[in-house]
Amino acid sequence: MLLAAPLATAQAQDRPRLEPTRDVAVSYRLVGQGGQGQISLSWRAAGRQARLDNPDGSFLVADLAAGSGFMAHDQHRELMPLGAPPTDAGIPGLIPPGGRFTRGGTETVAGQECVVWRIELSDGGRGRACITTDGVVLRSLGNAQGQPEQGLEASSVTYAAQAPARFNRPAGYREVAPPPAGQQR
């Protein structure tokens, strides 16, 4: 009985850290179906804030500490408030929430060593990710319901302080409501 508790604790902890422990900026190339374009991630560790910049000029800011976020589009000068991201998923858009992780070997992506993790989702989807020991997702690939594999892979990683102002709501943007569930804007 005494041996079972440490084993259960070790198994529960055998999952990757999904938030970086320090400020970082990562550029990703899209992989898979029409995988053209780049997205950029800026992470501010002190505020637990993430900013994802998309190829279309939109960006998402998730404030994990506050449990809130927004999506903004510079060209349209619109801002859409978002609900709280799942607490077990880390940065939205990088790793799907609720997965079961299995540790693999190590690889090097964008000059950084990372641990390969297989991910099984409750909806039957599968994926794999390569994540540094300090929580930076360098690769995230997966497929759902028989679809071809797609995701992202880091092309550059820069550990440096991130300006807090980049995570603020932009002034003068018109607030819009999120589309009904199942519809895209």
pLDDT in tens, 112-159: 999 999 999 877 888 999 999 999 999 999 887 777 888 999 999 999
pLDDT in tens, the chain (185 residues): 344 443 333 344 588 999 999 999 999 999 886 667 899 999 999 999 999 999 888 999 999 998 899 999 989 999 999 887 766 667 877 887 778 999 999 999 999 999 999 999 877 888 999 999 999 999 999 887 777 888 999 999 999 999 999 999 999 999 998 877 655 54
Note the pTM of the prediction, 2 decimals: 0.84
Q: Which two tokens stand for residue 76?
A: 């349209």
The conformational region for residue 146 under phi > 0 = left, psi -120 to 50 = alpha, else beta, is left
Instruction: State which CATH number among 2.60.40.10, 3.40.50.150, 3.90.1150.10, 2.50.20.30 fits the domain covering 18-164.
Output: 2.50.20.30
Instruction: Convert the pLDDT of each residue in 151-161 to its tens digit.
Output: 999 999 999 99
CA distance 178 to 184: 9
Burial class (CB in 10 A: 0-12, 13-18, 19+), 91: buried
Query: Which is nearest to 162 in space by CA: 20, 18, 5?
Result: 20
Structural domain boundaries of the chain?
18-164
21: left (phi over 0), alpha (psi -120 to 50) or beta: alpha
The sign of the CA dihedral 137, 144, 102, 7 is positive
3-class SS at 168? Answer: coil
